[in-house]
A and B are shown apart, each in its own frame.
Chain A
């Protein structure tokens, strides 16, 4: 319920105003609810956990760990991981690409080799540069853009529910406001 505590409307004063990264950490976890990953072919390949990974310099610190602690997603226990490369991130379900990776972004995404990993980042133009979900700050609120084509190429299905609350939805160059 930690995530829910962060969902309070921004207009209402809180004892501790959630920071940008508090919200983003919660969103990383929530995206899992509205995205469908492809089923593994054999039981041996079945995942043992639901890893949420951070690539590059970790902006969350303990916040992400606190968010995933004890939680689970689709019956799998949540886990927070830090990865150093795109190759390493192939086993993740959700991958937050830190703004520190801005320059290496193309290489990193290439390294995933089309693995079913939901890529999320606040790097500008992330959605148009091969990423799937890009956080944007609008009216002092964290919103996101989604590139459905990129997700589909990785074998992920994004729920229309999630698309509904996206600021914009891109589909191979076109975008929906």
Chain B
């Protein structure tokens, strides 16, 4: 409204200014013409020196009521004849502005024109006319009146039009805006903007708005359905699951979490989960978790969580980042899997395998000892029968007893239970293991190729190291045909991967049948065996466990090509373990006879 009024005002003002200027020009033009006419009519009065005649001519200007003064002057600017609008007054002729000097000039509310009187190419004199600007003023006044009228009339018209327009346009739009406000305030997408009575762009706008609301509602419903599906799924998995903001603030847990911890949502939101952690482990968890939040890397760790019963159980926790299209982490999704049962089962397995191994060891020892004992018994019998050779028989029996002593020393000597790692020379342990299998090796006529360093010492549990080696040697012997070749190398070495710790490397190779690619994938799994009823399938699994316990590594290379088949196990045992474990050491022996 204001803009329209301004525009109207400007347009009118421009028009009026233009017109006033035109009027002014017309006025000047008009005066010029009058001056010319007077000049022409004053030629003879000037020529024949007749001022009365000139005055008569000038008096005709009475018809132009705006002319206040007119004068005729001689070329030397002397007053010749004059006319004054105001009658009966003592008139003074006005001094003439020289023609050509200033043609038109303004005097406050008057302006003047000067026209030379030229006759026969001679300047006979000048006409000087002064006019007031009443005409302009009158025009200006009438324009202002018109302008005021126009403004008032247009304003009234605009009011009437806008009243009508409001009914047709403003009101539906206001209703639409109100609806939009309700939607954004109450998040209520079920409301709809009222329909417009007329079929115009406004109605179209309202329809589009309503369609948009319907679409939003539909998407909302889909989203909620998805969310519900997800929650149902998340609540049904056996794991504890939760979601956190990018900064680690947890905003949702699945039902299992609450069931396990016995906590309520209020306690758990944000960082409340810290309360169900073992205070001893929590600092490490926090360090790792904050590191993940900082770097956006997935988190994997086993830590205990306290259950509703107050007991801690171990959980394998996996936390993966959920990223947006730009790769920025927007939230975290975490699961805690209870591995207590798994650990317990593994422990049971380990124990049973150890028991089995102990049994086999006992049998083995009995076997080893039984032969020399039988020999001693025979020799003593022979010594009784043949007293002449008693010395020879007794010394032979003594040798056999020495051998028994040797065996017991080798077998039992290493198995004194130790709770802390002791220094072990792996060369000695290897020799001991080979001695244990000496009979078997000789029986299969297997050639042993030893390449031992003089010393290869580590800190560890001797029984377990021995069991590792015994398992591998036994497997090698098993795999070989008679007259095979067993190759054993023991040396101080640096680890071949990772941090290149110093330690001892033992490689045990055979030229046996080799391990096929399919078998290779499973050899370290528990209960996997190729020996049918002969083995428990726990040998290599246990071996790997023991190597890991010593923080070592185990590798296997094998080929089953008929020409150059064979297998090589390579283990690395670090000089010392960085952390002591309270793994109970029990007497073990070789296995899988």
* Mutual binders A and B: yes
A residues in contact (CB < 8 Å) with B: 1, 4, 7-10, 12, 23, 27, 30, 33-34, 141, 143-144, 159, 161-162, 164-165
Instruction: Beyond A4-B75, A9-B80, list 9 extra A-B contacts (CB 8 Å).
Output: A7-B47, A9-B78, A12-B78, A23-B49, A144-B48, A159-B44, A164-B44, A164-B57, A165-B53
Inter-subunit contact A141/B43 (CB<8 Å)? no
Considering the chains assembled together, what is the distance between the CA atoms of A102 and B220 in angstroms? 133
- What distance in Å separates the Cβ of B450 from its nearest Cβ neighbour in chain A? 154
Stretch binding the partner chain, chosen from B116-124, B314-322, B345-353: B116-124
Inter-subunit contact B47/A9 (CB<8 Å)? no
Which residues of chain B come closer than 8 Å to A141, judged between CB atoms?
Answer: 49
5 residue pairs, one from A and one from B, having the closest CB atoms: A165-B50, A161-B44, A165-B44, A165-B48, A165-B53
Considering the chains assembled together, what is the distance between the CA atoms of A9 and B125 in angstroms? 13
Inter-subunit contact A33/B74 (CB<8 Å)? no
> Contact partner of A161 among B41, B75, B80, B124, CB < 8 A?
B41
Considering the chains assembled together, what is the distance between the CA atoms of A162 and B46 in angstroms? 11
Which residues of chain B come closer than 8 Å to A34, judged between CB atoms?
Answer: 44
Considering the chains assembled together, what is the distance between the CA atoms of A143 and B49 in angstroms? 9
B51 at the interface (CB under 8 A from A): yes
Known: A4-B75, A161-B44. A33 touches B119 (CB 8 A): yes
- What distance in Å separates the Cβ of B213 from its nearest Cβ neighbour in chain A? 95
Closest to B125 in A: A7
- What distance in Å separates the Cβ of A52 from its nearest Cβ neighbour in chain B? 16
Q: Is the interface of B mostly helix, strand, loop or mixed?
A: mixed
B195 at the interface (CB under 8 A from A): no
Inter-subunit contact A7/B44 (CB<8 Å)? no
Known: A9-B51, A30-B48. A1 touches B74 (CB 8 A): no
Which residues of chain B come closer than 8 Å to A33, judged between CB atoms?
Answer: 47, 119-120
Inter-subunit contact A161/B43 (CB<8 Å)? yes
Identify 8 residue pairs between A and B in the complex whose beta-carbon atoms are under 8 Å apart, listed by A's number.
Answer: A7-B49, A9-B49, A30-B47, A30-B48, A33-B119, A161-B41, A165-B44, A165-B45
Considering the chains assembled together, what is the distance between the CA atoms of A8 and B48 in angstroms? 10
Which residues of chain A come closer than 8 Å to B124, judged between CB atoms?
Answer: 4
Which residues of chain A come closer than 8 Å to B50, judged between CB atoms?
Answer: 143, 165
Which residues of chain B come closer than 8 Å to A165, judged between CB atoms?
Answer: 44-45, 47-48, 50, 53
Within 8 A of A (CB), among B51-86: 51, 53, 56-57, 74-76, 78, 80
Considering the chains assembled together, what is the distance between the CA atoms of A143 and B282 in angstroms? 139
Considering the chains assembled together, what is the distance between the CA atoms of A12 and B47 in angstroms? 16
Which residues of chain A come closer than 8 Å to B120, judged between CB atoms?
Answer: 33
Known: A1-B122, A33-B120, A164-B53. A8 touches B74 (CB 8 A): yes
Closest to B81 in A: A9
Considering the chains assembled together, what is the distance between the CA atoms of A30 and B74 in angstroms? 17
Within 8 A of A (CB), among B23-46: 41, 43-46
- What distance in Å separates the Cβ of A128 from its nearest Cβ neighbour in chain B? 21
Considering the chains assembled together, what is the distance between the CA atoms of A7 and B44 in angstroms? 11
Within 8 A of A (CB), among B253-290: none
- What distance in Å separates the Cβ of B130 from its nearest Cβ neighbour in chain A? 22
Considering the chains assembled together, what is the distance between the CA atoms of A162 and B43 in angstroms? 9
Inter-subunit contact A9/B43 (CB<8 Å)? no
Inter-subunit contact B119/A7 (CB<8 Å)? no
Considering the chains assembled together, what is the distance between the CA atoms of A165 and B41 in angstroms? 10
Which residues of chain B come closer than 8 Å to A9, judged between CB atoms?
Answer: 49, 51, 74, 78, 80
Within 8 A of A (CB), among B561-588: none
- What distance in Å separates the Cβ of A147 from its nearest Cβ neighbour in chain B? 17
Considering the chains assembled together, what is the distance between the CA atoms of A9 and B41 in angstroms? 18
Which residues of chain A come closer than 8 Å to B76, judged between CB atoms?
Answer: 8
- What distance in Å separates the Cβ of A134 from its nearest Cβ neighbour in chain B? 14
Which residues of chain B come closer than 8 Å to A4, judged between CB atoms?
Answer: 75, 122, 124
Considering the chains assembled together, what is the distance between the CA atoms of A7 and B74 in angstroms? 9
Considering the chains assembled together, what is the distance between the CA atoms of A34 and B120 in angstroms? 11
Closest to A74 in B: B120
Within 8 A of A (CB), among B88-120: 119-120
- What distance in Å separates the Cβ of A26 from its nearest Cβ neighbour in chain B? 9
Closest to A26 in B: B47
- What distance in Å separates the Cβ of B568 from its nearest Cβ neighbour in chain A? 144
Which residues of chain B come closer than 8 Å to A159, judged between CB atoms?
Answer: 44
- What distance in Å separates the Cβ of A133 from its nearest Cβ neighbour in chain B? 11
Which residues of chain A come closer than 8 Å to B57, judged between CB atoms?
Answer: 164
Interface centre among A9, A161, A162, A165 (most CB of B within 10 A): A165
